[in-house]
Amino acid sequence: MSSQAVIFSPDDMRGALISRMLERKGLKVSLFKNIRNASEAIASLKPHILIVDTEGYFPSELGYFASLSPLLADSAVLFVANSSINDTINMPHTKVDWCVSYPLDLQIIATKALELLKPKEAQGDFKHLLPDIEKGLTEEDKVVIEDEDLEKDLMGFIGLK
Amino acid sequence: MSKKTIAIVGPKGGIGKSTISSNLAIALAEMGKKVTALDLDLGGANLHVLLGIKNVPHSLDDFLLKKVEDLKDILIDTELRNLKVICGGTNIPDIANMPFMQKMKLINHISRLDSDIAILDLAAGSSFNVIDFLFIANQQIIITSPESPSLIKVYGFLKSCVFRMLSFHLKNERAEEALEVLTRAKDTDANPHLKTINGIIGEIEGINPAAAESSKKMLTDFRPNIVLNMVRSEDETKAGKVICSMLKQYLSIEAKVIASVPSDEMVRRALFKNRPMMLIYPGSPFCLAIKGLAERCIYN
């Protein structure tokens, strides 16, 4: 089943570009230009991810999205903003990430959105790029690392045993 | 240093440090930051090669030989408006063993560069010059691959860093007896209890509790970032977790993995084309990871 994304963007062009990129990545996308419509959609659709394009918005207006936090408890939120929003937005029970607003980098927005949609235990630092690389490996090429064995080996080599 | 200075070191040579440095510089410049990339791989300069800069008009050699007065006189423009480079020296035979006063002069000039971010691409190895340039940065990035030889080099390098920090600190505190502990700690066969930093601090505590306390506090401020490079599978990323755990347990430092950069065949192609990845394959897995790393560098 496709993940549902709600995109809020006051800019037609940016909103359309972000929508198209995420649709290409397999998400079901609903795009809104108006905050009220976006919040009604959040309440009714309960999206897996909300993407907030902040271009042209004042930081204080973004606080509105923080107030939607209870509706987004099971969702993730990706802010497209020009500085870290950690100090201005408090959404303690929601998975939140952000990426730069300018220049608009659709690849990074898609990558981060997909990252946020992964189950928490599978999240990492772009580890989701690795399966594509793994596909190109033969069984003999694939490395299996056992944490304890590696630590034991390293301790032996370093002389810490 | 008030501007952001990011030092990038790869204790084991050949693990892609300069490839990451050069492309990270480009990523940051493309995000609107004014970036200066400095090749401080003294005697082994190659940042200009990775950035595709041919016919280098000046380099650190000119600054160190006092042919120019200021580092800004040897800034070289790149294709990107926001990115300038200071190329490393290659002609001075003993440049890697720069005398202390010359190093301090260079450090002073680095701090006066007019840029938002200075990226210092350091040499491989654990020489004092590499460690001292690492210390001047407010963000330290250690590049490693997931294999044991590289991880062992990371451990050894950071152990050298910790020893150097403790040495400076204890000299400042005029704790000569405590300094003796560091000397004894070099012979771990004779002093096995001094294999770990906890053991060393514990020994110092018996001699000079105040120096031990201040040393512990100083070490908590040293938080290097690790980037795992040339990663080919999810399993290989476990190497990052293992090395961070060992650094915490045996060196008492909190390191964390801030990026896992995938192994990417396009990197090799870019190297043969003598063009940076970020300019010719910006959508590749390598570049996506570097862009993510750039964001972490700006906002952490």
Could you read off the pLDDT of B254-271 as tens digits, one per residue? Answer: 999 999 999 998 899 999
CB contact at 8 A, B242 and A154: yes
Nearest to B138 by CA among B75, B216, B221, B72: B221
Which tokens is B266 given? Answer: 């396009």
Which pLDDT value is given to residue A134? Answer: 58
Q: How many residues does chain A have?
A: 161
Question: Chain A residues contacting B, CB < 8 Å?
Answer: 83-84, 99-100, 102-103, 105, 107-108, 111-112, 124-127, 129-134, 137, 141-145, 147, 150-151, 153-155, 157-160
Measured from the Cβ of residue A75, the count of other Cβ atoms closer than 10 Å reads 24
Q: What is the pLDDT of residues B235-255, one digit of tens each?
A: 898 999 999 999 999 999 999
Using pLDDT thresholds of 50, 70 and 90, give the confidence band for residue A84: low
Q: Which of B234, B245, B278, B300 should one mutate to test binding to chain A, selecting the residue with the greatest count of A CBs within 10 A?
A: B234
Give A139 to chain B, closest Cα distance, Å: 12
Which pLDDT value is given to residue A122? Answer: 44
Q: Which of B82, B229, B235, B241 should one mutate to test binding to chain A, selecting the residue with the greatest count of A CBs within 10 A?
A: B235
Which pLDDT value is given to residue B1? Answer: 45
Predicted-assembly ipTM surpassing the 0.85 threshold: no
Confirm or reject contact between B80 and chain A (CB < 8 A). Answer: no
Nearest to B255 by CA among B172, B98, B141: B141
Q: Provide CB contacts within 8 A for B141, sequence distance 6+.
A: B6, B7, B8, B9, B224, B225, B226, B227, B258, B297
Of A2-6, A141-145, B280-284, which range is least confident? A141-145
Residue B299: closest C-alpha in chain A:
A84
Beta bridge pairs of residue B262: B231
CB contact at 8 A, B89 and B64: yes
Strand-strand pairing, A95-99 and A76-80: parallel
Inter-chain contact B292–A150, Cβ cutoff 8 Å?
Answer: no
- Cβ density class B137-160: b for 16+ within 10 Å, e for less: bebbbbbbbbebebbbbbbebbbb
Contacts of A133 in chain B (CB under 8 A): 232-233, 262-264, 285
Q: Is the peptide bond before B224 cis (omega within 30 degrees of 0)?
A: no
Residue A145: closest C-alpha in chain B:
B235
Inter-chain contact A154–B148, Cβ cutoff 8 Å?
Answer: yes
Using pLDDT thresholds of 50, 70 and 90, give the confidence band for residue B3: confident
Phi and psi, residue B47, nearest 5°: -60, -35
Confirm or reject contact between B154 and chain A (CB < 8 A). Answer: no
Higher pLDDT, A115 or A12: A12
Contacts of B261 in chain A (CB under 8 A): 126
Q: Helix, strand, coil: what percent of chain A each, to 5?
A: 45, 15, 40
CA gap B284, A133 in Å, rounded:
11
Confirm or reject contact between B207 and chain A (CB < 8 A). Answer: no
Give A81 to chain B, closest Cα distance, Å: 12
Which pLDDT value is given to residue B156? Answer: 94
Q: What is the pLDDT of residues B13-68, one digit of tens each?
A: 889 999 999 999 999 999 889 999 999 988 778 899 999 888 888 999 899 889 99
CB contact at 8 A, B154 and B11: yes
Residue A121 scores a pLDDT above 50: no
CB contact at 8 A, A74 and A46: yes
Contacts of A100 in chain B (CB under 8 A): 31, 295
Q: Which of B187, B291, B298 should one mutate to test binding to chain A, selecting the residue with the greatest count of A CBs within 10 A?
A: B291
Contacts of A112 in chain B (CB under 8 A): 292
Give A52 to chain B, closest Cα distance, Å: 18
User: What share of chain B has pLDDT > 90, as a percent?
Assistant: 66
Q: What is the pLDDT of residues B75-134, one digit of tens each?
A: 999 989 899 999 987 777 777 677 888 888 999 999 999 999 999 999 888 888 899 999
Q: Provide CB contacts within 8 A for B178, sequence distance 6+.
A: B170, B204, B207, B208, B211, B212, B215
Inter-chain contact A126–B235, Cβ cutoff 8 Å?
Answer: no
Beta bridge pairs of residue B121: B8, B39
Contacts of B238 in chain A (CB under 8 A): 145, 147, 150
- Cβ density class A120-150: b for 16+ within 10 Å, e for less: eeeebbbbbbbeebbeeeeeeeeeebeeeeb
